[in-house]
């Protein structure tokens, strides 16, 4: 149990809240607009969606730590992580990764045939991300897509097919995550240069990287407006978009090119509020649209 607890702390298990509300929103939209108005996802569907999300994120985050082990050894910010210190063994990390990958496949199998067929592709994308900083500046967008798949996957889990409108929400989540990952990457600029890793802050500098992150988040808000309009959602969805926009503005106000001391508040606290508020407001809008 101690090793499991240490592993969950290493992968910041509590931050599963970032993507899960967007996945659940996708599930609610599918149940409401998949030709059966007024219906909600079953508890069984919601349960397996949560299992799939937790398994996918846990496998991906642990794989990321395995892949980056040698970099973590030399980065002052990460050299106290359990795999570096030896508190966790590499073998246990691999076992944890494989078990959680199997959980994703099991959950997909329990949901429907299309979800099962797509589960290996999802795992391939999740594991591929861990190596992208070695060769592309735009690894932030790959990370964003890893979470951006969640609402589309949840629609598939409930409906057994994919509505093209869910790609709008997937793109919005992709840009949201990519934007705050750019902010987070600013604190590793010196190490990225030393280690030969790629990132937007390394290529463009911190000031321009922050501007790019703001642009990503601005586009995210526009995509949410498009999505709410496409589903003809009532006022709570629009109130949620306004709240998300306000929180994003606050997040960017916390981070300055010459002062990155509030990165953690911007990255963890504010983004947790964004995802939860989005789910509550859009859940209310979906409920009203079916009443």
Q: What is the 3-state secondary structure (H, E, C) of 35-98?
A: CCCCCCCCHHHHHHHHHHHHHHHHHHHHHHHHHCHHHHHHCCCCCCCHHHHCCCCHHHHHHHHH
- What SS3 state is found at 19? coil
Predicted TM-score of the model (pTM)? 0.94
- Average pLDDT, stretch 171-177? 97
Q: What pLDDT does residue 17 have?
A: 67
Q: How confident is the model at residue 36 (pLDDT cuts 50, 70, 90)?
A: low
Residue whose C-alpha is closest to residue 72's, from 10, 139, 127: 10
Distance CA 247, CA 273 (A): 8
Set out the domains of the chain in order of their start, with CATH numbers.
2-289 (1.10.357.140)
The predicted-structure confidence for 127-167, as pLDDT tens digits, reads as follows 999 999 999 999 999 999 999 999 999 999 999 999 999 99
Distance CA 202, CA 47 (A): 41
The predicted-structure confidence for 4-19, as pLDDT tens digits, reads as follows 676 656 666 556 667 8
Distance CA 226, CA 165 (A): 9
Poorest-confidence range of 56-60, 61-65, 77-81?
Answer: 77-81
The helix/strand count (H/E) of the chain reads as 15, 0
Percent of the chain at pLDDT exceeding 70: 92
Instruction: State the DSSP string of 80-145.
Output: TSHHHHTSS-HHHHHHHHHHHHHHHHHHHHHH-HHHHHHHHHHHHHHHHHTTGGGT-TTHHHHHHH
């Amino acid at each position: 149990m101690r090793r499991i607890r240490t592993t969950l702390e290493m992968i910041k298990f509590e931050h599963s809240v970032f993507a899960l509300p967007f996945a659940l929103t996708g599930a609610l939209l599918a149940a409401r607009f998949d030709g059966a108005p007024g219906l909600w996802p079953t508890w069984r569907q919601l349960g397996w969606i949560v299992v799939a999300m937790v398994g996918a994120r846990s496998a991906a985050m642990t794989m990321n730590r395995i892949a980056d082990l040698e970099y973590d050894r030399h980065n002052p910010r990460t050299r106290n992580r359990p795999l570096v210190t030896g508190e966790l063994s590499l073998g246990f990390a691999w076992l944890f990764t494989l078990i959680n990958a199997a959980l994703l496949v099991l959950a997909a199998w329990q949901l429907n045939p299309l979800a099962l067929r797509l589960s290996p592709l999802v795992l391939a994308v999740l594991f591929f991300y861990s190596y992208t900083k070695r060769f592309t500046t735009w690894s932030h967008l790959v990370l964003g897509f890893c979470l951006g798949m969640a609402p589309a996957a949840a629609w598939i889990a409930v409906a057994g097919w994919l509505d093209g409108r869910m790609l709008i929400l997937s793109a919005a989540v992709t840009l949201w995550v990519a934007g705050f990952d750019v902010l987070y990457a600013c604190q590793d600029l010196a190490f990225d240069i030393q280690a030969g890793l790629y990132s937007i802050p390394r290529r463009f500098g911190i000031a321009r990287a922050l501007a790019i992150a703001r642009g990503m988040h601005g586009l995210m808000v526009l995509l949410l407006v498009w999505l709410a309009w496409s589903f003809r959602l009532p006022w709570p969805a629009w109130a949620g978009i306004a709240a998300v926009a306000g929180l994003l503005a606050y997040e960017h106000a916390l981070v300055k090119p010459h002062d990155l001391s509030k990165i953690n508040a911007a990255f963890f606290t504010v983004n947790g509020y964004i995802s939860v508020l989005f789910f509550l407001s859009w859940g209310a809008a979906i409920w009203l649209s079916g009443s």
